[in-house]
Amino acid sequence: MACAVENEISEELKSIKIDEKHEMPCILVLGMAGSGKTTFVQRLTSYLYSKKTPPYVINLDPAVHEIPYPANIDIRDTVDYKEVMKQYNLGPNGAIMTSLNLFVTKFDQVLNFVENKNNEYSSIIIDTPGQIEVFTWSASGAIITESLASALPTIIVYVMDTARSTNPVTFMSNMLYACSIMYKTKLPFIVLLNKIDIVDHSFITDWMTNFDSFQDALSMETSYISNLTRSMSLVLDEFYEHLKCVGVSSVTGLGMDNFMSAISTAIIEYNTEYKPELEKKKVLKTKNEDDQKTLKSKSSLESGFFTKPVPPNIPINYATSTVEESDEENIDESEIREEHSFSHFLGSKIQSS
Ligand SMILES: Nc1nc2c(ncn2[C@@H]2O[C@H](COP(=O)(O)OP(=O)(O)OP(=O)(O)O)[C@@H](O)[C@H]2O)c(=O)[nH]1
Ligand SMILES: [Mg+2]
């Protein structure tokens, strides 16, 4: 059965590669520090190689010491993180952010390069820095995500440490983070419940589908946080409904077939839901830009039409003040004339009465 599924997935990946209409999907791996992003990228890379559908791998973590997979593009080849720390006098997080900012200035070249590889690779996998907020809440992270999403079917894979989520309050805080990233990126989203070789992820699936079971787990908690968590679980109910969760062990490779099926569904989702939205946005953006341009040219035309011509060979400041002064003189003269005629009118009225 597993073998049949594997063959089906591998055929699916081949068709993604061969069919010109299909662009290779971009899998953006995000997650809390130590959740297993890098190990998962390594696992996925070797899985795809074993299916003869090699991926194009990009490392965006400038601070990583060693990477256990062959990276086609490595941020460390472009930016020296330690040098950034020294030269800009920054701490570790500031240096990661600055390194990303420096790298993003070249990202259009990376994108061009990647797009040209469409026929050679099955997908793009991107590993991100451990300090998740540095990527998800920085301008460079947003630029990278948006430019990828507007060019290729981009899917966010949020890696969660299952073994560290057995506490319902910890699980809830992690889910809230996932939720915030999903709403921020507005892209197809997969929650990867990693490290299932340590703890099976069925308890999380249960919590997400069965409200009572989550309440039972929470009953052990006595702090005020448990009440908040209870309310939050009700709020997140709708979020859970549309969420794809897959249990994987990046160390043993367990659950990789399910992950690939989730990716196939996410690609369809991107093409049917997200792409039309993105295209609508693009059209609206170009329309706004065009409107802005015509408005600018119209206003410059109008201002040109109503501006009094500047006499030649006279400095602009001087010319303008002359025009204004002569205007004032005109107003004064006409006002004086009006005053005269009004007092004349009043005088004649008084005389006649
Ligand atoms: N048992 C087990 N350990 C795992 C699994 N995935 C990752 N690990 C371990 O978790 C630790 C962190 O893994 P990394 O892949 O470095 O995690 P990361 O998210 O890339 O870490 P940062 O980039 O520093 O945020 C390592 O010791 C891994 O061996 C897994 O599926 N099972
Ligand atoms: Mg890592």
Which domains, ranges and CATH numbers included, belong to the chain? 22-53+120-224+232-280 (3.40.50.300)
Judge contact between 114 and 124, C-beta under 8 A: yes
Q: How far is the CA of 38 from the centre of ligand 2 (A)?
A: 4
User: What string of pLDDT tens digits covers the 353 residues of the chain?
Assistant: 444 444 554 555 444 443 445 578 999 999 999 999 999 999 999 999 999 999 999 999 999 999 999 999 999 999 999 999 999 999 999 999 999 999 999 899 998 888 888 788 999 999 999 888 888 888 999 999 999 998 999 999 999 999 999 998 899 889 999 999 998 898 999 999 999 999 999 999 999 988 888 888 888 777 777 778 888 888 888 888 888 999 999 999 999 999 999 999 999 999 998 888 888 888 888 888 888 888 887 776 666 544 444 444 544 343 333 334 444 445 456 556 655 655 554 455 445 44
Whether pTM > 0.85 for this model: the answer is: no
Q: How far is the CA of 131 from the centre of ligand 1 (A)?
A: 14
Q: Residue with the nearest Cα to atom 21 of ligand 1? A: 34
Three-state DSSP state, 33: coil
Distance from C-alpha of 223 to C-alpha of 234, rounded to nearest angstrom: 18
Q: How far is the CA of 127 from the centre of ligand 2 (A)?
A: 7
| Residues at Cβ < 5 Å from ligand 2 ion | 37-38
Judge contact between 255 and 204, C-beta under 8 A: no
